[in-house]
Amino acid sequence: MYERYILPHLINCACGSPQIMKLRSQIVPKCSGRVLEVGAGSAINLQFYDPKSVEFVWGLEPSIGMRNKAKSNVAQSGIDWRWLDLPGEQIPLDDESVDTVLLTFTLCTIVDTRTALAQMRRVLKPNGKLLFCEHGLSADLNVQKWQNRINPLWSRLAGGCQLNRSIDLLISDAGFQINELSKINVPKMPSFAGFVYMGEASVL
Ligand SMILES: C[S@@+](CC[C@H](N)C(=O)[O-])C[C@H]1O[C@@H](n2cnc3c(N)ncnc32)[C@H](O)[C@@H]1O
């Protein structure tokens, strides 16, 4: 009940604050060609895709609750949107078939990030790009301490979300080269959840 009906609403609210929407508006328009959005959630990013650059978007989202929450965003959008109802660890697409993989606030929740990132690398074309905007382990040691302390309880309440992942290391360890990276303390957000890694990577 909680995961299907309540959590999608909570996630949508938390991920829709003005500060987070501003970050989305900076990263999503960089998508081009055939796009795979992993953990697409309520399809909240749809409004920021540039229809002139994007051919279509595969919205990969394993949660039926989130896919239901996305219905109105998908219906209102002019972007060609195609659902994939599997987790990121099992991307059902051909090798080298995607121009852009987009990850926003999803790596925190994927259980097996290593396998999922290997799948993203597999489906990306050699000249494709991985765009990411993800919260994770803070650069501030005091905040890190709190992140580590509250993580067990937080992850149970927040659908498996982990507060303390080093997003840049996860991405580079998976065989990507990070070409652009900003680390941002998002204003007006609790510091334990407001340290964001945003950037672009390519296949090594
Ligand atoms: C915090 S929400 C973010 C949703 C959306 N990306 C956004 O920016 O608002 C995390 C999303 O990851 C999805 N998710 C959970 N496990 C996943 C997995 N193994 N592979 C892909 N997505 C997953 C969840 O269902 C949820 O929609």
The per-residue pLDDT for range 84-143, each reduced to its tens digit, is 999 999 999 999 999 999 999 999 999 999 999 999 999 999 999 999 999 999 999 999
Residue 4 has pLDDT above 80, yes or no: no
* Residue position matching structure tokens 């905040």: 143
Domain residue limits, the chain: 2-203
Q: What is the pLDDT of residue 16?
A: 86
Q: What helix, strand, coil percent values describe the chain, rounded to 5? A: 40, 25, 35
Nearest Cα residue to 185 out of 44, 23, 48: 23
Nearest Cα residue to 31 out of 43, 46, 42: 46
**Distance set, CA 204 to CA 126, 159, 168, 198, 199 (Å):** 8, 32, 14, 19, 16
Pairing of strands 98-104, 124-135: parallel
Nearest Cα residue to 112 out of 85, 134, 91: 91
Q: What is the pLDDT of residue 9?
A: 64
What's at 158, amino acid-wise? A
Q: What is the pLDDT of residue 175?
A: 96
Distance 153 CA to ligand 1 centre (A): 19
The residue whose CA has the least distance to atom 12 of ligand 1 is 39
**CATH topology classification for 2-203:** Rossmann fold (3.40.50)
CB-defined site of ligand 1, < 6 Å: 11, 15, 38-41, 44, 60-63, 66, 87-89, 104-106, 109-111, 116
